[in-house]
């Protein structure tokens, strides 16, 4: 398995959220089970890209501090 950067992972999650949103819109209104499952996955992913951006910023700050001490 290839290593993926944090930034690329963030983009992939955002892409997955968009695909799930489109899929949710395309579901048959009579199939509430599928719509509920898609909505649940969307809810699980909500806020993750922002959290990953914050983590990346924190890691960058830690790298800068470590470089200053060296």
Report CA-CA distances (Å) from 22 to 18, 25, 38, 42: 6, 5, 10, 11
Would you say residue 70 has pLDDT above 80? no
**What pLDDT is recorded for position 68?**
84
The first and second tokens of residue 63, run together, are 């790298």
pLDDT by residue (tens digit) across 13-46? 999 999 999 999 999 888 889 999 999 999 999 9
Euclidean distance between CA atoms 46 and 30, whole angstroms: 25
Would you say residue 60 has pLDDT above 80? yes
**Domain range list for the chain:** 6-69
Euclidean distance between CA atoms 62 and 16, whole angstroms: 29
> Is 13 within 8 Å of 42 (Cβ atoms)?
no
């Amino acid at each position: 398995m290839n290593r993926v950067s944090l930034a690329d992972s963030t983009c992939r999650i955002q892409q997955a959220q968009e695909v799930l949103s489109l899929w949710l819109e395309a579901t048959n209104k009579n199939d509430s089970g599928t719509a509920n499952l898609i909505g649940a996955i969307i809810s699980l992913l909500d806020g993750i890209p922002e959290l990953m951006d914050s983590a990346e910023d924190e890691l960058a700050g830690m790298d800068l501090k470590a470089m200053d001490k060296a």
